[in-house]
Each structure stands twice: as C-alpha cells, then as structure tokens.
Amino acid sequence: MSRRLLITGGAGFIGANFAHFWTHAKPDDRIVLLDALTYAGNYANVAALCDPGAVRFVKGDIRDFDLVCNLLRSEKLDTIVHFAAESHVDRSIVGPGEFVGTNIVGTQVLLDAARAVWLKEGVEHRFHHISTDEVYGSLAPDAAPFSESHPYDPRSPYAASKAASDHLVRAYGHTYGIQYSISNCSNNYGPYQFPEKLIPLCIVNILEGQPLPVYGDGKNIRDWLHVHDHCSAVMKIIEHSPPGETWNVGGNSERSNIDLVRALCAAVDEAFARDRSLATRFPNCPAARGASSAKLITFVKDRPGHDRRYAIDSQRMSNQLGWRAQIGLAQGLADTIAWYLDNETWWRNVMSGKYRDWITQQYGS
Ligand code: NAD
Ligand code: TYD
C-alpha cells in the first residue's frame, strides 16, 4: 500500500534516519518533513533527500495548526509519524517550559489538525506517535524489563512531557476516533545524533582529547538500540499494527554507562591502531600517542533525579509483528564511530554553531 507521510522532527536524529530509511525502502511514497530547526534540527541531515526534490522539507512548528492543516490537505497526507520533540533530559531539568510547549501542546495541536482534516473529511489515516521507555520510570536491578502494561511513572520533566503526550494520543483515539499507534523505545544511537547525548558526546570528546563526563557512579543502566533497528520497528508498526495499539521497542542490550564508555574508548583505540592516518587527523586523541582513551573518563556530579535503570521487553514486537533488533551493540558502536570519523565536517559544523548561521541565512531566524 502506498502512503503519503508527514514526518515531524524530520531533521532531527531519529526523524532524519527514518526519512532516509523510508525513502530507500519505498521510493514511490510521498514524504513531507516538518521541522522547526531548533538547535537539534539540522537540514544537512536530509539535504541529500530534499535538495533533489525527492522529499519536501518545510520549516515550521508543529504548534502551527493552520500550517499542519494546510499540509495535510494540500499534500493529501494520510500518515503522520510524530518524532518532533525536545528530547534531552538535562535540558528539561534546566528549563521544562519548552518541553511542555513542544511535547505536550505540540502533540495536541497535531492531533487537532488530524481531527480537523482527517476525521472531518473521512480520510483513512494513521497517527504514529514516537515515545520513550522513560515514561515508565526507573527499574530495580533485578526487575523484569518494561512491558507495554507497565504503569507510567515519569520522573524527569522530559519523561513527564512524553507521558502526557502518550495520554493525549490515546485519549484522541478513544474520544474522537483518531487511528493511532504508539511506540515506546529505548535509548537510540547511530548516525546524525547531536553530540549532547552520551554516545556521540563521548566519540567526539575522545577524538578531541576532552574529558568524558560520567554522571554519578556510572552504574546507571540503559538498553541501547541502533537507530536503524528503531526505524525498521516503526515501519513494521505502521504497516502491520491495528490502530489503537502500543508497542515497546528495545535493543536487548543493557549496559551500565561506565561499561559503555569504556567500550567506546576501546573501539576508538582499535580504530587508531588499524588506521595510522587517524593520529594525524586527531592529534589530541590519547590513541594518537598510543595511550588508552579511557584515561579521559571523568566522574562528575550526578544528574538530579537520575533514573537508575531502563530496559525494554520487546517480546510482543517479535511474537506479533516478527520484528527484532538486528544490530548488536559492538557492531553498532563500531559503525557509529566509523560514521563520526567519516563525517567530521558534520559534527564540527553542528558544534561550532556555523550550522545555525547558515540556517538563519537560508530560512531566516
Ligand atoms: P532530536 O532532539 O534529535 O530531534 C528533534 C527534532 O524535532 C529536531 O529536528 C527539532 O528541530 C524538531 N523540533 C523540536 N521542536 C519542534 C517544534 N515545536 N516543531 C517542529 N519541530 C520541532 O530528537 P531525537 O533523538 O531524534 O528523538 C525523536 C523522538 O524520539 C522524540 O519524540 C523523542 O522523545 C523520541 N525518543 C528518542 C530516543 C533517543 O534515544 N534519542 C529514545 C526514545 C524516544
Ligand atoms: P542520555 O544520552 O542523555 O540519554 P537519557 O538520559 O535519555 O537516557 O544519557 C544516557 C545515560 O548517560 C544517562 O544515564 C545519563 C548518562 N550521561 C552521562 O553519564 N554523561 C553525560 O555527559 C551524558 C550526556 C549522559
């Protein structure tokens, strides 16, 4: 079945990967990306799709009701894949307001636009909402991983805003008949991730010889999922899940932060041992001098309210939709390091702020 998709947050980390993934798998489907290009959004992530015109890029806010209605109508869109969000827990601790605005109000506006166009005009549709395992709160060390029926217990402003958006999506399904699906997934990593999140931050800091800040005792546990596996899960759900269903998507790869950071250090050291030209490109990296990158590890003050452990039970995805993660953590980390090595200009631009100046020139502030 061919589809016409609106991908919100399509210039962000997961949204951009999803745009590439869907276009590659289904080149005849229509795709429109809607993204406000906040600090986390990066047109360069999707330029290869949008510059030739295969995919349309619209700079705009999901809270702009008229814009969203116009796009749904003029492009005859039948599917919304809703990634747009403020996504970084540490930023939500410093300033929760933006998280309430984008994650809660933004989702409500999108749902209202879907009501106004799809329900009023009788369009067969799907609203797929991307959520997170963080809505379930923190797991004890020996507790079973989160299943879809685990009670909600969000504990950061970010998690609370995502939980509220999940409730709104279900409420619009129940009350008005919006045909929705929801996926709650674990920590993603891979290409195009903004280097404020743990894995890209560490890769870039190792290459630059900067400290690797590990919060608290480093024993907090996350369940890591390669973004390409996340994309394939979302495609499976959109294509095969009945409406009104929620799916938990995880990588089955629990690691403590300190073990993960050590694994990254070892993988970078190996890459430098294999390729001597890296020492010339990144002279500040300890591996350039034959030293261990692990010496950069620095324990720092813990994040307030830091959740101890997340882990996802994806059995329902595998039993009912035949999906399981394909990319093991060691391979995924090696591929991700290779991507950051091959895309030095991308992360230097993102980090230097040059990208923002360019976007302002292109699209205004
Ligand atoms: P990201 O921060 O990299 O990207 C978010 C994108 O949304 C950016 O391009 C940004 O410009 C855009 N955006 C923000 N506010 C907007 C607004 N008001 N209107 C339009 N666009 C706006 O985030 P990500 O890591 O790609 O996460 C995508 C989704 O996946 C989010 O909903 C997040 O909660 C969820 N999620 C992420 C992870 C993870 O590990 N990254 C894990 C589970 C769930
Ligand atoms: P993060 O990538 O911010 O994702 P989330 O908070 O959504 O899980 O962080 C992953 C884990 O790494 C989390 O336990 C916090 C920790 N962390 C650090 O120890 N140091 C850092 O500099 C960052 C950004 C995160």
Helix axes 65-74 and 106-114, enclosed angle (nearest 10) = 40
Residue from 101, 67, 68 nearest 85 by CA: 101
Q: Summarize the confidence of residues 125-143 as an average pLDDT.
A: 98
Whole-angstrom distance, CA of residue 325 vs CA of residue 318: 9
Residue from 42, 39, 36 nearest 16 by CA: 42
Among the atoms of ligand 2, which is closest to the Cα of residue 156? 6
Catalytic residues: 133-134, 158
Q: Summarize the confidence of residues 296-323 as an average pLDDT.
A: 98
Q: Percentage of residues in the chain with pLDDT exceeding 70?
A: 97
Fold assignment, 4-193+224-251+309-326 = Rossmann fold (3.40.50)
Q: Which of the listed residues 130, 162, 203, 215 should we mutate to test ligand 2's pocket, taking the one with most ligand atoms within 8 A of CB?
A: 215
Ligand 1 center to residue 291 CA distance, Å?
36
Residue from 36, 41, 53 nearest 15 by CA: 41
How many C-beta atoms surround the C-beta of residue 133 within 10 A?
26
**Res 1: pLDDT:** 83
**In the chain, what are the domain boundaries?**
4-193+224-251+309-326
361 has a pLDDT exceeding 90: no
The 10s digit of each residue's pLDDT in 35-76 is: 999 999 999 999 999 999 889 999 999 999 999 999 999 999
313 has a pLDDT exceeding 70: yes
Q: Summarize the confidence of residues 331-356 as an average pLDDT.
A: 91
Q: Summarize the confidence of residues 79-107 as an average pLDDT.
A: 97
Ligand 2 center to residue 90 CA distance, Å?
8
**Res 352: pLDDT:** 82
Q: Summarize the confidence of residues 332-357 as an average pLDDT.
A: 89
- Asked whether 199 lines ligand 1 (CB < 6 A), one says no
Which residue matches tokens 């589809």? 3
pLDDT band (50, 70, 90) for residue 26: very high
Ligand 1 center to residue 9 CA distance, Å?
6
Helix axes 198-208 and 344-352, enclosed angle (nearest 10) = 100
Residue 218: which region, alpha, beta or left (left: phi > 0; alpha: psi -120 to 50)? Answer: left
Q: Which of the listed residues 13, 198, 260, 303 should we mutate to test ligand 2's pocket, taking the one with most ligand atoms within 8 A of CB?
A: 198
pLDDT averaged over every residue in the chain: 96
What are the angstrom distances between the C-alpha of 300 and each of 130, 197, 198, 307?
31, 15, 13, 16
Q: Summarize the confidence of residues 79-100 as an average pLDDT.
A: 97
**Res 360: pLDDT:** 66
Q: Summarize the confidence of residues 224-235 as an average pLDDT.
A: 98
Q: Summarize the confidence of residues 161-181 as an average pLDDT.
A: 98
The 10s digit of each residue's pLDDT in 322-342 is: 999 999 999 999 999 999 999
How many C-beta atoms surround the C-beta of residue 2 within 10 A?
8
Among the atoms of ligand 1, which is closest to the Cα of residue 39? 11
- Angle among Cα 258, 331, 341 to the nearest 5 degrees reads 85
- Asked whether 13 lines ligand 1 (CB < 6 A), one says yes
355 has a pLDDT exceeding 70: no
The 10s digit of each residue's pLDDT in 141-155 is: 999 999 999 999 999
Ligand 2 center to residue 103 CA distance, Å?
20
Length of the chain: 365
Q: Which of the listed residues 6, 14, 58 should we mutate to test ligand 1's pocket, taking the one with most ligand atoms within 8 A of CB?
A: 14
**Res 199: pLDDT:** 98
**Residues contacting residue 150 through CB under 8 Å, at least 6 positions apart:** 136
Of all ligands present, the nearest one to the C-alpha of 259 is: 2
- Asked whether 100 lines ligand 2 (CB < 6 A), one says no
pTM of the model: 0.97
